Amino acid sequence: MRMDIEISQLRRFLAIVECGTFVDAAAMLNISQQGLSSSIAKMEELAGVRVFDRTRGGRLTLTVFGRLLLTRGRAQLVMADRMMSELRLLRDARGGSVTVGISETMTGRHVATAIRRYHRQQPDVQIRLLEGYTGVMIERMLAGEVDFVVGSPTADPERGGELGFRHLFEIRDVLAVRPAHPLSGRRQLRLEELCDYTWMVPAFRGDVYEAIQLAYMRAKLPGPRHIIRSDAVVVGTWLCLDDDYIITVSPDMIGAMVELGGLTVLDLEDTTIVRHACAITRVDVKLSGSASRLLEEIVFEAERSHGTMAG
C-alpha cells in the first residue's frame, strides 16, 4: 500500500475532525465543500482505506484507520510547523527587519558601532531605531512594535514577570555646558557656584530633579533658582550652546557634542545619578534570527566599551 499524504490533506482532515462536518470545515478553511471532499477522497484513495464513516444526517465518525491517522497526523503537523519555523528563522537572519527601542542610557557610539558592524554583515535586514524613555519603549515592545529594548531597567512591578533583563554596565550622568560658559574648565566646583545658572533637567523622569534637590539639601544650600524641565534633547542642546545653561544628562546623549567641542563636562558629580544599562526582551516571545544577532552585537559592544566583559 503506497502512502503519500500531503501536509495540506492532513490539515483538512484534522479540520473536519475538529468541526464535525464537511460543511463547517470547508467554511473554516475558506474552501468549497466540493474541493474539501475531493481532497479527502484522494487521500483515502492513496491510503487504500476509508478514514470516515458517513451516517445519516451527515454525521461523521472515525474508522480505525481514521483514529490512527488522527494520532499520527497531529504529530506530523507539529513537526512540519517546527521545520517551517526554523526555516523562517534562518531566512530572517539574512533578511526581514529588526526594530530596536533605544533609551537615553544607550544612545552612545558603542550602539552605533554595533549597528554599523551588523549592517555590514547583514545589509539586507531592514533596521528601524526608535528613541525614547525606557518605559515608553517597553510599552511599544509589549504591543509588538519593538523587537527588544536597550535602556534602563523598569521599576514597574506589574511588568516584571513579562520582561527579561540582561545587565550591561553602569554609567553616571554628567553636567555639561558650552565651552564659553564661565564655569567651563574649572576644577573641583562647589554646589553654590551653580545656583545662579539655569538648569536643564528631564521632564518625564523625576529622579534627576530629586537628585539635584537632595544634593543641595545635604549641603544645606538652597537649590538652583531657575530650572527648565524638557525632554526635547535637540532644543535643550541648542539652549546650552547659545546661553550659559547647565544640562544634566546621560553622557551618551551628548557624546557627539562633547567630542566635537560643542559642549564640555563640568567637574562635579554631587547632583547626578547612576544609570543601569541593560538589554530588555519579552520572556514570552522568541526573537527572530536577525533580531537576536543584532542584540548580541549591541551587548558585545556595550560590554567591550565599558569594560564589563568577562574574559
pLDDT tens figures, 53-76: 876 666 788 889 988 888 888 888
pLDDT at 85 over 50: yes
Q: What is the pLDDT of residue 244?
A: 94
Read off the pLDDT of residues 160-203 as tens digits, 9 standing for 90 and up. Answer: 678 999 998 888 888 999 999 999 999 989 999 998 999 998 88
pLDDT at 150 over 90: yes
Q: Which of 84-98, 158-172, 287-301 has the lowest mean pLDDT?
A: 84-98
Domain of residue 213, residue span: 174-272
Q: Would 132 be classed as within a structural domain?
A: yes
Whether residues 136 and 60 share a domain: the answer is no
Whether residues 99 and 89 share a domain: the answer is no
Q: Which three cell numbers stand for residue 22?
A: 464537511
Whether residues 158 and 283 share a domain: the answer is yes
- Nearest Cα neighbor of 290 from 118, 105, 57 is 118
Whether residues 78 and 11 share a domain: the answer is yes
Q: Would 2 be classed as within a structural domain?
A: no
Instruction: Identify the residue with better confidence: 213 or 54.
Output: 213
Sequence-separated (6 or more) residues with CB below 8 Å from residue 4: 46
Instruction: Identify the residue with better confidence: 262 or 207.
Output: 262
Q: Would 146 be classed as within a structural domain?
A: yes
What does the mean pLDDT of the chain come to?
Answer: 85
Whether residues 111 and 122 share a domain: the answer is yes
Q: Considering 93, 108, 125, which residue would you say is the last residue of a domain?
A: 93
Q: Which three cell numbers stand for residue 184?
A: 567651563
Domain tally for the chain? 3
Whether residues 205 and 149 share a domain: the answer is no
In this prediction, residues 215-236 reach a mean pLDDT of: 87
Read off the pLDDT of residues 227-282 as tens digits, 9 standing for 90 and up. Answer: 999 888 788 888 989 999 999 888 877 888 888 899 999 998 777 778 888 999 99
Q: Would 151 be classed as within a structural domain?
A: yes
Instruction: Identify the residue with better confidence: 302 or 105.
Output: 302
Give the CA radius of gyration of the chain. Answer: 30
Dihedrals φ, ψ of 201, to 5°? Answer: -130, 155
From residue 99, give the alpha-carbon distance in Å to each of 14, 102, 273: 37, 10, 29
pLDDT at 216 over 50: yes
Looking at residue 33, which CATH number applies to its domain?
Answer: 1.10.10.10
Contact between 165 and 152 under an 8 Å Cβ cutoff? The reply is no
Residues counted in the chain: 311
Q: State the pLDDT confidence band at 90, using cuts at 50, 70 and 90.
A: low
Q: Would 310 be classed as within a structural domain?
A: no
Q: Would 88 be classed as within a structural domain?
A: yes
Whether residues 195 and 62 share a domain: the answer is no
Whether residues 12 and 66 share a domain: the answer is yes
Read off the pLDDT of residues 98-141 as tens digits, 9 standing for 90 and up. Answer: 999 998 777 778 889 999 999 998 888 889 999 888 888 999 99
Q: State the pLDDT confidence band at 94, using cuts at 50, 70 and 90.
A: low
Q: Is 206 exposed, middle or buried (0-12, 13-18, 19+ CB in 10 A)?
A: exposed
Q: Would 229 be classed as within a structural domain?
A: yes
Output b/e per residue, 39-50; b: 16+ Cβ within 10 A: bbeebbeebebb
Looking at residue 140, which CATH number applies to its domain?
Answer: 3.40.190.10
Q: Considering 64, 93, 122, which residue would you say is the last residue of a domain?
A: 93
Whether residues 48 and 189 share a domain: the answer is no
Whether residues 102 and 84 share a domain: the answer is no
pLDDT at 309 over 50: no
Q: What is the pLDDT of residue 1?
A: 39
Its pTM surpasses 0.75:
no
In this prediction, residues 209-236 reach a mean pLDDT of: 87
Q: Would 102 be classed as within a structural domain?
A: yes
CA distance 268 to 290: 42
Instruction: Identify the residue with better confidence: 5 or 191.
Output: 191
Instruction: Identify the residue with better confidence: 31 or 155.
Output: 31
Whether residues 77 and 220 share a domain: the answer is no
Whether residues 82 and 101 share a domain: the answer is no
Question: What's the distance, Cα to Cα, between the start and end of the chain in Å?
Answer: 61
Q: State the pLDDT confidence band at 155, using cuts at 50, 70 and 90.
A: low
